[in-house]
A = this chain, B = another copy of it.
Amino acid sequence: MSASSSSTNPMSREDATTLLPSVQDKYGGVMTEMTHPMDPSLFSTLLRSSLSTWTLQGKKGVWIKLPKQLIGLAETAVKEGFWFHHAEKDYLMLVYWIPKEDDTLPANASHRVGIGAFVINHNKEVLVVQEKTGRFQGQGIWKFPTGVVNEGEDIHDGSVREVKEETGVDTEFDQILAFRQTHKAFFGKSDLFFVCMLKPLSLEINAQESEIEAAQWMPWEEYINQPFVQNYELLRYMTDICSAKTNGDYEGFTPLRVSAPDQQGNLYYNTRDLHSRN
């Protein structure tokens, strides 16, 4: 084992035998990524001496990334005062804060992102589905295709993908008409749900066998007259917004790919209002 993975402040040969390998971050912290099995008692010894050294060096946050296969080392870190920051499928990230002051560690991801797709054809028929599982199964309720936007996926791409997966219909993204934020949606996390308008590029329906009981083009008036839609304030607003959009009276947010100090991203904004004044 060596400390040669320390990228910005290579440690001496002596350190290499008494400290965990680490790299420094730009916020005054250090990160140790364990990659090879280690005896827990050796890990404990190295962790203690490393923490002493990092404390003397004025370090703040200390991160330990444990791959799934090395989860047996987590108990040792917890005994030294570490807690969990987040986990993904194959690793657990533990963290510890050295200073006496409150930590300024970045928060874990807090939101899931979902979409509902409003797809209406030239006959004023809307694309709707009945789901095989979940809250509304078996109740004969026709609803917009919905789905979860993946980590790393653009909202507009996610909505086109979900419509294709659930119904087989090809679409082109138009606008985000509205969105809703709720809390305690899932394991305590918050939820952002974007109502997206998409233009159909094809009409033939192939319902997804695993998740969708049925899919169809349904006359808009028939959709909005469902008690399911009429009974809920949220759905009444959504249908009002969709109707207004269909009539050309409503403007949502349109995505535009723009560069920024840190990276590329999509800016969603009211393009009609902004560009009409230029």
Residue ranges of A at the interface with B (Cβ–Cβ < 8 Å): 27, 68-69, 71-72, 74-75, 78, 83-93, 101, 104, 106-113, 133, 135-136, 148-155, 177-190, 192, 210-211, 228, 232-235, 237-238, 240-241, 244, 247, 249-253, 256, 258-270, 273-274, 276-277
Contact = CB atoms under 8 A, between A and B. Distances in A.
Contacts of A183: 151-153, 265
Copies of this chain per assembly:
2
A219 to B, nearest CB: 22
Closest 3 CB pairs of A and B: A178-B269, A87-B87, A182-B265
A234 B259 contact: yes
Contacts of A91: 84
Per DSSP, chain A at the interface is mixed
Given A87-B84, A109-B108, A190 B152 contact: yes
A110 B107 contact: no
Given A83-B89, A113-B190, A251-B270, 7 more contacts: A86-B187, A135-B262, A136-B261, A233-B258, A234-B261, A240-B274, A244-B277
Nearest to A269: B178
